[in-house]
Amino acid sequence: MSEPVAVITGAAQGIGRRTADLLAAEGYRIAVIDLHAPAHAFSSDVLLYLGNITQEATVEAFVDAVFTRYGRADVLVNNAGISHIAPAETISAADYRRVLEVNLVAPFLLAKEFGEQMLDAGSGSIVNVASIAGIAGVGDRAAYNASKHGLIGLTRTLAAEWGGRGVRVNAVCPGWVKTEMDEADQAGGSYSDEDISQRVPMGRFATPEDIAQAIAYLADSRRSGFVNGHTLVVDGGWTADASWERLRLSKRGNAAEGGSR
Ligand SMILES: NC(=O)c1ccc[n+]([C@@H]2O[C@H](COP(=O)([O-])OP(=O)(O)OC[C@H]3O[C@@H](n4cnc5c(N)ncnc54)[C@H](O)[C@@H]3O)[C@@H](O)[C@H]2O)c1
């Protein structure tokens, strides 16, 4: 049997890039769609398709390209996403819609196209990259939070509809991760490394590797074959911790001290 195929959106950089490299190392053949090519070439032979996932025609052409090249798709990782930081009362309808288009509508389009093929094949795994902003409201992120809450809702719905036909659908919820997205967001001046590391019981940002490992687990039916409709939080304890800051910091051991990444 030929090696399984993993499709990853937004894998030119950040979490998606690390996920593509990890899944390639685990033996998957890889297909990627992104707006731009990666700064550093992929180590394995990757199908790289340049395009915007909010466009239905682009998604259809990408699916055709994947099936022409590989003839199958076993895993879909809906990773591409954009942030938008602004007080709710200042967000334009156009900006709100733009965030929803990328973070919520596009994952639906991709899940529909690849899901149809997976349902025909009777197996498949879809992993949606949501956020802890899909579980609770983080200030100044109305569109982003709404899109990620919606993505978790979509995950649960598809899990309910497709689980009985062999297609599992799960979500990963990262806390703050050190990627280009974080660099761009921090450049706006709204938070610092210290703000994040102090909020997390484990005292650091997530790494792309932390998130890629969780995605790889959910992707692989040998490891997570009965996990369906789950939201896997990978946040170093952020959402579990209702302590006030002084109490939280009083619990720090050496392992959590000074770590910002
Ligand atoms: N970085 C974090 O702190 C963090 C935390 C929680 C969740 N997430 C989520 O993880 C995912 C990846 O985040 P990241 O930090 O790696 O982001 P990133 O900005 O570093 O990378 C995102 C990639 O998606 C691509 N992309 C964006 N819009 C696209 C479109 N319309 N069509 C095709 N490609 C598109 C970009 O070109 C980029 O390569 C996102 O869904 C994000 O919301 C990130």
What is the separation, in whole angstroms, between the first and last Cα of the chain? Answer: 40
DSSP at 165: G
Rg (the chain; Cα; Å): 18
Output the ligand 1 site: residues, CB below 6 A: 9-10, 12-16, 33-36, 52-54, 79-82, 102, 129, 131, 174, 176-177, 179-182
Q: Is 70 an active-site residue?
A: no
Domain extents for the chain?
Answer: 5-179+207-242
What DSSP line would sit under 75-110, residue for residue? EEEE-------B-GGG--HHHHHHHHIIIIIHHHHH
Q: Which of 162-176, 226-240, 247-261 has the lowest mean pLDDT?
A: 247-261
- Beta pairing partners, 146: none
Third-level CATH fold of 5-179+207-242: Rossmann fold (3.40.50)
Average pLDDT over every residue of 102-124: 98
Residue 2 has what pLDDT? 87
Per-residue pLDDT band for 44 (boundaries 50, 70, 90) equals confident
Q: What would the mean pLDDT of 81-86 be, rounded to a whole number?
A: 97
Determine the atom of ligand 1 nearest the C-alpha atom of 176. Answer: 3
Whole-angstrom Cα distance, residue 236 to residue 210? 10
% pLDDT > 70, the chain: 97
Contacts of 238 by beta carbon, 8 Å cutoff, 6+ apart: 132, 175, 199, 200, 201
